[in-house]
């Protein structure tokens, strides 16, 4: 909600933790629930001030099939789509009564297009929410495993066999790196200049490192971001976990029938443990549709005067 006083405009926000059932875990998100009147420059400044992985700004939809439109900003730039901001924004809007009671499916409008949402539980207090990610993009592959291992502070023998070094995204691209164990993932450190040379100027927002845990279809992940994002490491990344699901199915690293259910643990090394559920609806080795879901919890609310 927005109001005026003698000093200026008041913009209210809620902060939630996403991909967790407990406060002070998961990935925190600030949602400005009525951002009408804010410019893109102001949204960017506010996101830098909030200093979270992302901040969202809700405005009226341009598509009548959508409940609302939302802008996603990291401290460094605007994103066309991201996962934890989508789930967190949907959670806040449902709790605030912006989604009609009894609704189980609705749409949000992102810069990337219409994002379908479905929820379980009461509309005003969802137990879990799932969103369908935009089409997964498979980008460049990299064959020089030794040099990439060196750029990530691991050994070539630590790289997971049968896991191509490949950029994937929906549409923001991340270099996806399979490693043998969660301990190998925890050793990853980005050597920026070397990685930039190896990527050859290809657009990329960071490295998504994953490893099997020993439990079928359960993977341990970290996302380490490049400098342009304005974030060092992200505790939970739906826009990386969803494409990872499509990648795992494509290369036979996850098993299942027409629906492959995958669980991703992220944020553990940061002390912000997060759980993401990825559902890959597939035709053979190809992902037909990918959903990402999880829970969220309310943490605090506040207001900002502009």
Q: Which residues are catalytic?
A: 54
**302: which 2 tokens?**
């506040």
Query: What is the bridge-based pairing of β-strands 259-266 and 218-225?
Result: parallel
Cα separation, 150 vs 167, in Å, equals 18
- Say if residue 213 is exposed, middle or buried (CB neighbours under 10 Å; 0-12, 13-18, 19+): middle
Cα separation, 283 vs 118, in Å, equals 22
Cα separation, 102 vs 184, in Å, equals 45
CA distances from 219 to 48, 140, 147, 284 (A): 31, 23, 24, 21
Cα separation, 188 vs 246, in Å, equals 23
**207: which 2 tokens?**
């490295």
Q: Contacts from 45-52 at CB under 8 Å and sequence distance 24+? A: 46/11, 46/73, 46/304, 47/73, 47/74, 47/75, 48/75, 48/76, 48/230, 50/75, 51/75, 52/28
Q: Tokens 């002390």 — which residue? A: 271
């Amino acid at each position: 909600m927005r109001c005026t006083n003698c000093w200026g405009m008041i913009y209210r926000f809620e902060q939630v933790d996403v991909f967790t059932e407990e406060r002070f875990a998961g990935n925190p998100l600030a949602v400005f629930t009525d951002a009408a009147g804010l410019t893109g420059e102001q949204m960017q400044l506010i996101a830098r001030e909030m200093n979270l992985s992302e901040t969202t700004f809700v405005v009226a939809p341009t598509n009548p099939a959508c409940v609302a439109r939302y802008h996603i900003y990291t401290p460094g730039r605007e994103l066309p789509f991201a996962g934890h901001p989508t789930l967190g924004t949907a959670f806040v809007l449902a709790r605030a009564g912006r989604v009609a009671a009894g609704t189980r499916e609705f749409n949000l409008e992102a810069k990337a297009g219409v994002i379908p949402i479905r929820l379980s539980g009461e509309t005003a207090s969802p137990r879990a929410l799932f969103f369908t990610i935009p089409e997964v993009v498979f980008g460049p592959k990299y064959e020089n495993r030794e040099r990439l291992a060196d750029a990530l502070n691991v050994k070539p023998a630590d790289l997971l066999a049968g896991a191509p070094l490949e950029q994937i995204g929906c549409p923001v691209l991340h270099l996806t790196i399979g490693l043998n164990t969660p301990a190998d993932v925890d050793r990853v450190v980005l050597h920026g200049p070397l990685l930039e040379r190896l990527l050859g100027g290809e657009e990329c927002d960071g490295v998504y490192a994953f490893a099997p845990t020993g439990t079928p279809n359960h993977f341990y992940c970290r996302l380490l971001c490049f400098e342009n994002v304005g974030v060092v490491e992200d505790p939970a990344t739906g826009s990386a976990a969803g494409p990872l699901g499509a990648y795992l199915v494509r290369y036979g690293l996850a098993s299942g029938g027409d629906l492959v259910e995958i669980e991703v643990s992220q944020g553990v090394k940061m002390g912000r443990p997060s759980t993401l559920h990825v559902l890959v609806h597939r035709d053979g080795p190809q992902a037909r549709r990918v959903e990402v879901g999880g829970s969220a919890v309310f943490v605090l609310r506040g207001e900002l005067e502009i």
